[in-house]
Homo-oligomer: A and B are copies of this chain.
Amino acid sequence: MNYQISALIFPKRGVLDTQGRAVMGTLVEMGFRSVRDVSVGRFVRLSIEAEDQASALSTARRICQELLANELIEDFSLKEGDLSL
């Protein structure tokens, strides 16, 4: 069966978020003075063939650990299904 897994990868608290800083600086220059903080991360949708949800999530976890996230400076979180806002 095919499972959709969403992964969010973002800087660990306390680690300098260089992208966030760069966006923040640009926003202030553009006149967006009401912005107090910016944090930038990555969002990955994985479509995984698996026996069940648990094994799809476990494959997604290994993918994050082995490729997508640098666990020295990043955290990641996983969710079954698409990320709807």
Q: Is the CB of B63 within 8 A of A32?
A: yes
What is the predominant secondary structure among interface residues of chain A facing chain B?
A: strand
Q: Is A2 an interface residue (CB 8 A)?
A: yes
With A8-B85, A67-B26 already in contact, the answer to whether A47 and B36 are too (CB < 8 A) is: yes
**Which B residue's beta carbon lies closest to that of A33?**
B49
- Tell me whether B27 and A67 are in contact (CB under 8 A): yes
Query: Which residues of A are in contact with B by a Cβ distance under 8 Å?
Result: 2, 6, 8, 10, 23, 26-27, 30, 32, 34-50, 59, 62-63, 66-68, 77-79, 83-85
Q: A8-B83, A32-B63, A38-B45 are in contact. List 12 more A-B contacts (CB 8 A).
A: A10-B45, A23-B44, A32-B59, A35-B49, A37-B47, A39-B44, A40-B43, A41-B43, A42-B42, A42-B43, A78-B85, A83-B85
